[in-house]
Amino acid sequence: MIEVNRRKATILTILVAALWIISAVCAFLLIIPILDSITLIYAAFWADPNPIGQAYYLGVSIRQMGVLIFSMLFVIGIIGGAEIQARNFNKPSSWHFMFITYAVELTLFLFTMFF
């Protein structure tokens, strides 16, 4: 019985770790497409064909600020996510949190697909 539980725990640990790594990789890969989408939306409102115009520089600034903010959020999400999973291993709340993580990533992925 103990052997069965240990095996089950090992499988669950591997599963949680795998899901966490996949979510981290997806989040990382989403940063640039999200910035592209934000830039596209910005351009729809304020684009200027002039490469030395105010609108162009503001667009570049938004993108640079976006890189900073998303990088910080990424690091916070990775570390925080890992800690939550470790502290609440195999609790209902941890599985719910994992689901929410993927729901948010799906939302962001669709955002990058549509815009």
Partner 1 sequence: MKFIEKLFLHDLRLTGKIVLSTFLGLALIIFLAQGVIALIFEYPLDYGEGQLLNQAFRITQGEPLYPADITTPPYLISNYPPVYILINAFFIWIFGPSLLIGRLIAFLSTLGSAFLIASILWEFMPNRKILPLVTGSVTFLINPYVLEWSALFRIDMLALLFSLAGLYCVIKNPQKNKSIILASILFVLAAYTRQSYGLAAPLAALIWTWTKNKKQALKLFLIYAIIGLAIFGLLQMLTNRGFFFHIITANINPFNWTTVLHFAQDVARKMPWILALLVFYLALGWRYTQSYPYLAPYLIAGMIAALTIGKVGSNVNYLVEISAGFGLLTGIIYGELCETIPINSENTPEIDIKLEQIPKPESMKPLERKNLWINLTIFLVLTGVLLFQIASLTQDSLFGPIPGRRDRIKRGNDYIYLEEKIKNASKEGPVLADEFMAMLPDNRIQLYFAPFEMTQLSNTGIWDQTRFLKSIEDQNFPVILIHHFQNYPVYLERWTNKMQQAIFDNYVPVEMKADSIIFEPKDFENKTYPDQLNCPNSLWQLPTSADMGLLWHNGQLLMMGSGRSGEIPVYAVADGLLYQFPEWEAAVSIQHEDPLNPGEIIWSFYGDMAPAFDIDNHYIKTKFIGAEGVPVKAGDLIGYQGSWLGAYEQTWVHLRFTLLPAGEDGGFPEPLVAIDDFHADLPAYKEQIRLGLDTSISLSAYTGLPESDIFGTLDFLPFECAVGGE
**Residue ranges that bind partner 1, judged by CB under 8 A:** 41, 44-48, 90-93, 95-96, 99-100, 102-104, 106-107, 110-111, 114-115
The smaller minimum CB distance to partner 1, of residues 79 and 100, is found at: 100
Written as one string, the DSSP assignment of the chain is -HHHHHHHHHHHHHHHHHHHHHHHHHHHHHHHHHHHHHHHHHHHHH--S-TTSHHHHHHHHHHHHHHHHHHHHHHHHHHHHHHHHHHTTTSHHHHHHHHHHHHHHHHHHHHHHH-
The smaller minimum CB distance to partner 1, of residues 10 and 90, is found at: 90
Q: Which amino acid is at 27?
A: A
Q: Which two tokens stand for residue 66?
A: 């976006």
Q: In the bound complex, what is the minimum distance in angstroms from residue 67's beta carbon to partner 1? A: 20
The smaller minimum CB distance to partner 1, of residues 46 and 74, is found at: 46
Q: In the bound complex, what is the minimum distance in angstroms from residue 84's beta carbon to partner 1? A: 12
The smaller minimum CB distance to partner 1, of residues 74 and 115, is found at: 115
Question: Is the Cα torsion angle 74, 75, 80, 86 positive or negative in sign?
Answer: positive
Q: In the bound complex, what is the minimum distance in angstroms from residue 36's beta carbon to partner 1? A: 14
Q: In the bound complex, what is the minimum distance in angstroms from residue 52's beta carbon to partner 1? A: 14
